[in-house]
Every structure is written in structure tokens, then in C-alpha cells.
Structure 1
């Protein structure tokens, strides 16, 4: 079978951490696009992300923040500003020419994002504003799984019935792909214990292959939910999957949000084996219930550098 060839990692913005986990003066380590990275925040509040290896030091282990500088390497004591430039060393005098491999960074609604491009190009678009006035703070869950981010999209309406027990009231509508952004809508129905049949009006927005925003309305319950699914490649064929959930419920928000997130996460885990085994033949046999998956795959391919 001839398969579609994908590049190693897609270009775009990807989550690498949360603002409240990297407070001023802190240094954190993570994996991103098959390389170790370090995330730090200066005492003044500026956040930076760099490749973690420098000469004879591992920045996540040996790095520390002093004021507005990251000081690393037990031997050289090089100090780097938030642009990655070496501005001082323990030996004094003119700092050596040295520079950290930096990533462009953006923070939006408590999420730290880093830009990746296989050819090192600067950001071609900005990450979306993830705030939602009047909604609760996000409840968050992080999982690590063997998969690729292009499998997280919500377009496969046929799987909603077979895997998740939803019936499709109205299929994919208003599908639009414009550069880095794809949007679509569908309406589903599910029988909920004690509540009977509940209709869900769903609107999805995808920003590249790392950010999925789902706005869900259940008019019968007076409930509105925002779900963010952030997919970040970490090492070869592994990715971190952040699921974030927020509601418009005015009382007991934390408990309700955490309960809904646990339910959503368990439901989402049913997709993991399917995603893991999924392949991308050039000429797939698509059923009508699969939705506009070929259009999505053509769009997703634009984020990979051949």
C-alpha cells in the first residue's frame, strides 16, 4: 500500500507549559520536537524557551535565574538574556560569542506556546486568544501518548456514533479552511442518564495542528462549555496532549469543571488506540460517515515541510 509521506514534525504554535507552573525565577525542562528544551521566567516576568543543551551544561539541571538573566554552566557561568545572547561570564571581560538556540514564544490565557518551523522560519501567524469572558478558569489534564497531532481534529463524525455513543443530528456544516485556521460545525445528540436525549451544538476551530478549540452548547441544560485540546510533539512518535475545559456554570464551578473534564478525558481515551493504528494511504477508502476527512488531510499536509 502506498502511504502519504509526512515530514517529521508540523510547523506552527504548540503548547510547552502553563504560566502558573513557571513563576518568576523558575526554570523548567520539557521535550519539544525531539529535543530537550528549557523554559524560564525572569524576575521581571518575561518568559523564554531555548534548547536545553549548551556546551558542557544541561540548562534544565544547571540553569538558574538571576534577575533578568539565565546563568548556566558550572564551569563557565555564562549568563544569557531572554534573547539568548551571552552577556557575561565568570571570567569577566568581553563575553564570548555564544548564543542559545531560542524559540519564539507567546503566552495566551495562561498557556506558554513555542513556534516551530522545520526550516527555522519566523512565525507566520499568531496564536489565538484563548480567553473566554464569563467562563470559569480552565481545568487541565495532561497525558502522553504515542501519536501524531493531525489525528486530533473532531471531523470524523462516524466515529462519534460507533466509539462515543453520539448520534449525528446534523453533519459537518460551514467547513472553512483559510490558511492556518479551519472551522466547522455539527450538531449531535446523546442520551444522558436522568436527563434523556440532550442536543449538543458544536463549533470547532483548529489553528494549525497544535490547537483545537471546541465551543459546545447544550440548550436543554443551559450549559456552555469551551474545550481546548493542545497537541505537542515531544519525542519521536510521542506527543503531550493537554485537555482544558471551562464552563459558564455560575456555582460550584471547580467541582463541575473537574467532573466534566474527567468524563471528557475518559471518553477521549477511547480514540487513542484508533489514532495509534491510523495510517495515511494516498487513496483511502472513505465512507460517507467519515466526513470531509480528505479535505482535512490536504489542509493538514500544508503544515509539513516536504
Structure 2
């Protein structure tokens, strides 16, 4: 039984007008549609493939706030770096380079001591600004080079965000707050996360590639005439006016954070963090109006399942990034999206 068969018909209509229907794509039988989530469609691939774009500058999620407990240390790989997130004893989250400048030990095996992180190898301790504040077996002056690279952090709305800039610049924009978070009329967040093979830019570009909605996700029509794409500095918005009279919006705040809203159905706080040029980690929080709480799991399954996110995954995995694609007018706002997105690349 399809997920959508168990939902109110009006909600099904709203979901089918988005990116995430529950029916197989047109011209494909059920078996073929399900095959979209199988292993790579190619047994062999030429090596090397063209390199995807570099990691863009912006805010990225290190983890869900709930996953970084008091005095906890977490290792992760993002923006082509080994990193460590930790929460000091005052409750403040930090993100730092993973390796101790002393002899290179990985701080992921270290401990929080007060407001510092302690290296597991020789006990050197580093403050939130990255400076070494204690070498426990020495009274000598601490070298100024005994310093960890650090990343600006903002913890808000259920995520620990860190700022990456290839040139080392400070943040150039801030992330807006989300009204649904903590609102009594909305559920607590339902988390979802996955790692996949995809270039970060192409995942964002997917949202203005309206034609793929028909052939990958089974939309009845390509919504070129009902969708708009607008930009405001580091922010962009996709708006689709649905035949039901509702409006679907996707607000992107830089390359790695977005908010998707379907009025009366759900809000998705979407974060996409590049691991490297070819791999990304998704961390999403789903929010539902309280009167939709009983349908939350069904809707999430529809959004992330076979004909939703899972249908995109093999496309991203097997495709190559083309700097100069051959586009036609009906390809929607891909060219406009790329012009907007270029601002996040250092030196472009």
C-alpha cells in the first residue's frame, strides 16, 4: 500500500504538487521505478571524472544540538577537513580542527575540562579561541604557535552550525531564526539524516530543476509557469503556487541551509554539509502542526522514500557536474541559480 493511500486526499494533493509524490514516475512500471534506488546503473566508470566544484563558503551544520551533550566531544569530517565539535562545561558549543598542534594527536579522543578541550596524548588544553592555556608537565612559556584553528559557531533552532570560508574570512551573513521551533502549535522536531554521493551545488540546483520533478518524482506536469526564483544577497527563495491555492516555499540561506514549508502540512529545516567535493551529509528536522502529528511518520516516509529523496540519490551518484550545461528555456531557473550560487566560491 502506498504511503499516500493512508493520508487525507487533500494532503496527498499538496504533497504531489511538491517534489515528493508517492506514485511511480510516468512511463515506468512499478518495478522499474523501484529500480531507481538500486546500485549504480553502470558497472564501470571512466576514471577520473571531472571534479565537482570546490566547497563553497557558508554556514553548515556540525550536528543536531541534541547530539552534543554536556561536556561531550564529537569527531566528524566536513568541508574537506577533520573536525571536532565539543560542548564546554558552560554549555557553549565549539568547532575546532581535529589535530593537536603539539604532536598531531586527534582531539576526538580528548576530554572537556572546564571551558577547554584536553588532548588525550599529553594533556595539553585549549580554550574556545583555540589558544593553548595549559601544558600540565611544563612551567615554560607556552609557544604562540600552540593554537588550534577554530570555526565561528552559532547554535540555534536545534543545530550546531559552523562557518567555513576558504579564505579564512569571518561570517558575511547570519542565519534567520525559524518560527516553528519551540512553538506550541508545532511538534517537536523529527530528525532525519543520511550521507550520500553528491556535489553540494547540484543538490541545491535540484530545487530549481523543475523538469526533473516529472521524470524522477512522477509529477503530472512540469511547473515552469507556477514557480519563481528570487534572490537577495546570500538568500534565495523558490515559490510555487499550487492549484489547490496553497503556496510551497523553499528559502535557502547560503549553500548549506534551507527551510521548506508546505502550509498546513509540514516544515522541513534542511541542512546539507559537504564532507568533500563528492559527498554530503543531510541533517533535517521535520516539524508538523499538532493536528498533523499522527501522520508525521507517513509523511516523512513519503518525503524521504522511494519516490522522494531516494529517487534523487542514484541520479546524483552517477552524474557528472558540467560547468557549461546545454540548457533550454524550459529548464527553469538553473542558469539564474548558478549565477546566484557563484558568490559562495572563493575567488569567483
Structure with greater strand share of residues? 1
Task: Name the counterpart of 2:54.
Answer: 8
| CA shift for structure 1 position 146 | 1.0
What's the TM-score, normalizing by structure 1? 0.86
Q: Which of 19, 28, 43 is the matching residue for 2:89?
A: 43
**How many residues get paired?**
287
Partner of 2:287: 246
Structure number with greater CO (CA < 8 Å, separation at least 6) is: 2
After superposition, where does 1:282-301 map in structure 2 within 5 Å?
A: 282-301=323-342
Q: Give 2:169's match in structure 1, choosing from 118, 121, 128.
A: 121
Equivalent in 297, 301, 306 of residue 262 of structure 1: 301
Shift of residue 274 of structure 1?
2.0
Query: Is 1:184 the counterpart of 2:238 in the alignment?
Result: yes
Q: C-alpha separation between the residues in 2 aligned to 1:40 and 1:60?
A: 9
Query: Aligned residue for 2:127?
Result: 81
The unaligned stretches of length 5 or more in structure 2 are 1-48
- The equivalent of 2:18 in structure 1 is none
Unaligned runs of 5+ in 1: 190-197, 218-222
Per-residue Cα deviation, 1:208-227 (whole angstroms, up to 9, x for no partner): 1101211112xxxxx33101
1:34-76 deviation digits (Å, cap 9, x = unpaired): 1211100011101100010112310002x1011211111422x
Contact kept, 8 Å, 1:155 with 1:291, in 2: the verdict is yes
Q: CA deviation at 1:139?
A: 1.0
SS of the residue corresponding to residue 290 of structure 2 reads coil
CA offset at residue 283 of structure 1?
4.2
Q: Deviation at 1:33?
A: 1.2
User: Does the CA-based 8 Å contact 1:140-1:243 persist in structure 2?
Assistant: yes
Greater percentage in helix: 2
**Which of 226, 243, 253 in structure 1 is aligned with 2:267?**
226
Change (3 A) 1:299 1:170: closer
For residues 166-177 of structure 1, the aligned pairs below 5 Å read 166-168=219-221, 171-177=225-231
1:57 aligns with 2:57: no
Point out the more displaced range, 156-165 or 35-44.
156-165
**2: distance between equivalents of 1:5 and 1:57?**
31
**Matching residue within 182, 203, 208 for 1:155:** 208
Deviations 1:1-22 (A, max 9, x none): xx99864210000111011111
> 1-side partners of 2:199 and 2:344: how far apart?
13
Which residue of 2 is the match for residue 136 of structure 1? 187
Q: Secondary structure at the match of 2:265?
A: strand
Distance of 1:245 and 1:171 partners within structure 2: 28
SS class of match (1:100): coil
CA distance in 1, matches of 2:323, 2:112: 50
Structure 1 distance, partners of 2:69, 2:133, is 23
